Structure 1
């Protein structure tokens, strides 16, 4: 075989291998598959390099304005605190952060609002990294736990907080009940999540069904709930005082999707730091990020906010 044919064959194999890697689904299988995915992203440091301490979307205002990517993520936490009325609570309130990632939100809640925060995640590597990033004088602790079967007794926390964890939950009714079960009577639940349009009102059309399937299969999501559907599940627990308050934050969070892709261009040091394997792994996420932007921009998906108060016993 001539050198040119050898090089051509190697390039073909390389391109084919990359293409296969890019299109290989990562479907939800169990809590273990979710944990493994987050363990891998945490161990290699790629997600933290580009997304910082906050593994969630940013808040760009209404109407959205240009903002630093990492600053928008921090702003999201403060906006969620204000929207939930948590800024009016006294110091020392106990908070459970469900799906805490590497602890970005938990540290803000502890440092800026003087809450006593417990963060839980299914990923042991995320817990390890969260502990490494948290100064000893910050009242935030982290542990491995399953949001579908929380290890805490009933009525353990003054506040339960969760950002973008719901899509990973295979049974949204159990998830809703667990969030409220560990909340003290009179306590506040504040949840921010990716949601699908309520298909009971407007069924998914011919292009929305495959797009939704791809979004689920690429990031280990069993299903998205709708804003209306998850509100109903919270109220169906019988543990909510009055009605669940909801809001749609699609507009202020929408720039996050393209901004996250732009980070790979604006921060070329990542290519040096993580090399070709890191570049390929990051490149794999671009189609899904673009689909997310399309889905949220077209109304197939919505960014839902939920606030509920635990009923008195």
Structure 2
């Protein structure tokens, strides 16, 4: 047992170091350039891809959640979203816009496994470059830099608009909702998965929740989170939704992802060799945010929202 106290001291020292780096290197949202620069940096150093794989989003662990490989859960999420959204009933050749495509993991699954013609867009030039490198010839997925707040495509360009966890980076959720619906063809399908906060119109954030929420915004270049109810209303206020927006809460199904993210650093020590001391410190500074995310989603401060809407004719 003589090793116990030095080991505990080392762990405490690491935690203190992580908190110091975390608090001194926040990535507060200032403009779209803040988001682009953050993702460029994460992509260039390769740390996020090493630990999170091709899918920079949470995994799906079932309901109730089951033990599952972290990377497999991320692929499963895409297939579960396809089924929930009804994309599995669409024919090959369906045109899909993947908004906030990251390094193209979801786009490649949609193109390879379902035969869709996918265009992935991200605000990060480095993500586009890496997505192109990872996409084999013959897979119908192309990538380009574009701004989801002002999409470069004409009205009615796509059969499907798909987006995973891009919304928190959008400074004006109403503009984001309008752009998503605008580029859909009549009867086209919108399917969105996003991090959301509790609807504070119903239950305002309390004294303890406000600083936690501010940290979740400041650390990963988020201007604001929408609520599930609020974003659903914004979609319908565009006047472009046919009928009603369908929503679901996938908090339970995705919750294990946060602690699994931290476990990756322990289970894959080769990352220490690959990325060295600077990579270790960069990884360590994300741990407090991951823990806060787990606490926020577990306590109901945050929720994982799913949205499905159909584009109407003539704006109805």
**TM-score between both structures, scaled by the size of structure 1:** 0.94
After superposition, the Cα gap between the structure-2 partners of 1:299 and 1:280, relative to the gap in structure 1 and judged at 3 Å, is same
In the alignment, the residues of structure 1 paired with residue 213 and residue 19 of structure 2 have an alpha-carbon distance, to the nearest angstrom, of: 21
In the alignment, the residues of structure 2 paired with residue 128 and residue 21 of structure 1 have an alpha-carbon distance, to the nearest angstrom, of: 29
Q: What secondary structure, in the 3-state scheme, does the structure 2 residue paired with 1:243 have?
A: strand
In the alignment, the residues of structure 2 paired with residue 64 and residue 207 of structure 1 have an alpha-carbon distance, to the nearest angstrom, of: 28
Q: Deviations over 1:212-259 (max 9, x none)?
A: 000000000000000000000000000000000000000000000000
Which runs of 5 or more structure 2 residues have no equivalent in the other structure?
A: 1-13
Partner of 1:195: 196
In the alignment, the residues of structure 2 paired with residue 242 and residue 264 of structure 1 have an alpha-carbon distance, to the nearest angstrom, of: 45
Q: Is 1:23 aligned to residue 27 of structure 2?
A: no
Q: Deviations over 1:11-68 (max 9, x none)?
A: xxx9998754321221000000100000000001000000000000000000000000
Partner of 1:46: 47
Partner of 1:63: 64
Q: What secondary structure, in the 3-state scheme, does the structure 1 residue paired with 2:61 have?
A: coil
Tell me how large the CA RMSD over aligned residues is.
Answer: 1.3
After superposition, the Cα gap between the structure-2 partners of 1:165 and 1:15, relative to the gap in structure 1 and judged at 3 Å, is closer
Is contact 2:177-2:235 (8 Å) kept? yes
After superposition, the Cα gap between the structure-2 partners of 1:19 and 1:56, relative to the gap in structure 1 and judged at 3 Å, is closer
In the alignment, the residues of structure 2 paired with residue 16 and residue 118 of structure 1 have an alpha-carbon distance, to the nearest angstrom, of: 43
Q: Deviations over 1:115-152 (max 9, x none)?
A: 00000000000000000000010000000000000000
Partner of 1:6: none
Q: Is 1:141 aligned to residue 142 of structure 2?
A: yes
Deviating beyond 6 angstroms after TM superposition, the runs of 4 or more aligned structure 1 residues are 14-18
Is contact 2:60-2:74 (8 Å) kept? yes
Q: Deviations over 1:251-296 (max 9, x none)?
A: 0000000000000000000000000000000000000000000000
Which runs of 5 or more structure 1 residues have no equivalent in the other structure?
A: 1-13
**TM-score between both structures, scaled by the size of structure 2:** 0.93
Is contact 2:18-2:284 (8 Å) kept? no
In the alignment, the residues of structure 2 paired with residue 33 and residue 26 of structure 1 have an alpha-carbon distance, to the nearest angstrom, of: 8
After superposition, the Cα gap between the structure-2 partners of 1:175 and 1:104, relative to the gap in structure 1 and judged at 3 Å, is same
In the alignment, the residues of structure 2 paired with residue 36 and residue 218 of structure 1 have an alpha-carbon distance, to the nearest angstrom, of: 14
Partner of 1:240: 241
Partner of 1:152: 153
In the alignment, the residues of structure 1 paired with residue 101 and residue 91 of structure 2 have an alpha-carbon distance, to the nearest angstrom, of: 22
In the alignment, the residues of structure 2 paired with residue 208 and residue 114 of structure 1 have an alpha-carbon distance, to the nearest angstrom, of: 44
Is contact 2:57-2:74 (8 Å) kept? yes
After superposition, the Cα gap between the structure-2 partners of 1:51 and 1:244, relative to the gap in structure 1 and judged at 3 Å, is same
After superposition, the Cα gap between the structure-2 partners of 1:163 and 1:18, relative to the gap in structure 1 and judged at 3 Å, is closer
Q: What secondary structure, in the 3-state scheme, does the structure 2 residue paired with 1:111 have?
A: helix
